[in-house]
Structure 1
Amino acid sequence: MIKANSEASRYQDFVSSLINGEQRSSNIDTLVELARSSDEYRYLEDFVDFVDSGVQKSPGKIASDESNAVEFMTIHKSKGLQFKVVFLSNMQHKFNTADETSYILMDQANGIASKYRQFRETDEFGNVLVEYENPYRNLIGKAIHKEAIDEEMRILYVALTRAEKKLVMTAVIDDETRLIDLAAKVQANESDPNRASNNTVIFNNHLRKVNCFFDWIMMALMRHPDIENDLKSYIPAITPNLDLRRTGFKKLNNEETALARFHLEIKSLTEITSTISQKQTLDAIDQYHQVQDYYNYVYPYQDKERSIAVTKLQALADEAGFEHLESQSSRREDALSLGTLVHNVLYYCPFDETDFTTLIARLKDEGMFTDDEYQLIHQYQHHLDDFRESDVYKIIAKSTFYKEKPFRYFNGEQVINGIFDIVFIHGDDVYVLDYKTDHITSSNSYKTLQDKHRIQLETYKEILTKQFHKPVKGYVYYLETNQMIEV
């Protein structure tokens, strides 16, 4: 009885192996591919422990020849699989070099390093951030590049060994000069007097300097007579660059390569599109008609900027015919700089008992101003002192206030950008105040000053009204003349 059961068990295992043979074969292929591509486990004991740990133990994928379908997959996903015909496409795609070009480089074996940056004062551009190379960072970058190229070579090996009968490789290039340049590199390698005649076929250094599969493949295939003839037929100008000695190729002619055949085709975009069937062309036209409204869409605010500063809205209105302010006769070359300095001082103003003499001195000590800027703001300080004695300053001091708050607001046509100089809440009322350093005369009428900044303040009030859900009062304060205008 025991013997009979043993025979039955062996028979059952034999039948099971026949039924699942294809799956088991695929599992073995997957295991072999995993062992070949795993540099991390270089000793058998470590690799066995890795497999026993249960990592990546999913069954190998079986590629069916009877499915009558084309399978799309990445090269990584194709490990362990084989197909009668394989297309390797998009070979001109550049390798990803982001890991070796970032500001800070990290490598498990070599550590971490970054470039050195320093601010330097220049006469022409002011304070400029200067970046210096770090030799050790460059060494880490070379190590990362070496590992990346090694990995790309392993990936290409996997791609080239998936086909059983036919491998079709495709790439897109801008023009034929790309091939002529590659042929020149191949010829330079062949004519190097320092290279032994039966030594390496391709310089390792040449290969590692290119950055895509296409260049690797072409530098190798250009040495094959079939490809050489095809290239000379398509691109006669390449002929002088394919005068090769071929002394190092003899060892490649063996039993394994005797039946290998290569063929190259170069087609222009026009030739490729001309092969598209008429039906496909009509289908594409029908699809276009379906979305034609989207293609013909015209932006209704074509003459307007998508995003605009709130101050520019007022400038455009001024050009349309608003009455202009009367300015003082003296020119102030540094008006823009002064305006920035004044706003910086008012940003740090605590609206308490601190006077502007103390505040400006403290900002100077903290490096806020250069000597020239300090002199400029010091000359203007009496206007700030007048503002400190004003009624609105005293009201702000007793209020809840927000200084230099940026905003972005869509008014239905454009995105408006700006900064509130100061928004303050006193009692139940909300106010917005905008400081102006315009060098104006005191003879300007109240209405002129109102009109000058009406659009800007009306926009401020509209935005804040939606924010606080109550009416907002807007004011402009002219520091030059110690005047406050309600808009």
Structure 2
Amino acid sequence: LIMMNDEAETASEKKEKEAEVLAQRIQGLVGNHKVGRVPEERRPCKYMDMAILLRKRTHLRKYEEALRRHNIPFVAVKGIGFYQEPEVAMLRALIYFLSNRMDDYSLYVLLKGPMFNVDEGTILQLIEKQGNSLFEKMENDAAETVGAGLPRPYDLLQEWLSRLADMPLSELIEYALTCTGAWKYFHEAQRRANIKKLIRIVEDLEASGKSLLKIRDFLERTDGKSDEPKANVNTEEMDAVRIMTVHASKGLEFPIVFVPGIDEQFLLRTDDRLVYEKEGKFFFKSLPEASIRRQDEDFLVHLAKEAEEQKRLFYVAATRAEEALIMLSHWSDRENTFLDFLKKGINIEKEGETYTYDQELTGFSLLSEDDVKMLFEHAPRIKAQKTTRPPVSVVPLTFEKQAHWQSVTETVDIRRRHGNDWAMLGDIIHRIFEGISKGIIIEENILEKTGRMLGDRGVSGEDKKEKLSIIERQVTLLKEKGIWQKIIMPAADSYTELPFIFEDRDSVFTGRIDRVIKRDDYFEVYDYKTFPVKEDETAYLLKEYAVQLDIYA
């Protein structure tokens, strides 16, 4: 048992210090402490021999940061918070920028991240320059570079934007990571697996015909999803510390187990409604008043069972250790903690700065935070052994040319030609049309639904009224021309947002057809273009969308 110093600290600072001490103890044991139940097979312990068991994941990031500071390899088993990981946030910023080059915040995140490593001072100097956006201000700045021999950030970003027309977004992300050398910053197995998971998500969205705007919309909706699991990492034979919850560790065993934060209090509580079994029958009871619940026999029995469940959880944590169990705690007199169970079990008491306990307990020892620091500082540092590698032989391989996947949903840069507002309005109009055609939205609710979508995108006030007016005028115009009744309204033998995959020689085209209606023995195919078109632009647009029309035909 490692007892932390009882200094006046915030709860966050206590966790940071506890994580630091835990990391020091791991480094003090690796290569120095021997593991193995059979004497002749004992060997110096490795990182893979250790596991950190948490009662809950609230402070997981603090433990991860401490392990990184000490260069301790680790993997969070069944960890959550995928969309909040730094590498995912960086690639999300890349996708946001590619979908809207006027998105200054996403570009700022991108520039500061591992792809470019532009310092804060340089970015602040850029902000002071003339231009409508940060990207525009970068265009005339020739001072900043990514690194020796690499192009300016502006040149790379411009290249990526130009590649959007003929390169799938998933491939472009990998290309961006490669040409900036950002992969080397994500050498940890978990981080690399997270990046690959995000790329797979983007691939799946593209394969289902989602445009860049809709991929961005998907990521915006999942940004706050904190329960998304991190990517699975194959930990077999990986020399890394495992971090997991006590619940996830059931059925597993490790030579050395750490259980930090055993002074954390668990709250025993019940809802105002209770379903319980008594004498072979099930009962339901509802007591909204908390003071009455605290005196009710059935609710008290339920709380006692909850306390027993926490004891069983502590037992699970303790019995995961094959050879050594190391617990970390601050002194506390609170009940309903793992420390409270331990104090009662082996009579731990504190007098001043001195701890006493049942001396007859074989194998138990109590260390202070300072003891761990001393052991860490005096532990021999294990030098990595040089291995002789066999000579490498190169065998040329031939591969069949893979078909190039290309989305045909967006071939014209709406933002570049018509501005960000029309790109957003176009996406909303598509959603409204889809809802009407599927019968999900009724005509009377169009403005209400539109207002909600605009609000979700941060549009408010007069700007919101203006955009609502634009969409209302568009719907009215379609009705006057008879297009609304003929095409948009629900119809038999019709399809909306119909996904397709079409292979033609060396290319595979993917996308979604906005509307397909079967009329007798032929099909009518409609593709909505929701941006202003001048009469003299018709010829240009027909040429621009020729490939898309050919594929539909």
TM tier, smaller: 0.3 to 0.5
Structure whose CA Rg is larger: 1
TM-score with structure 2 length normalisation? 0.33
User: Which of the pair has the greater relative contact order for Cα pairs under 8 Å at 6+ separation?
Assistant: 2
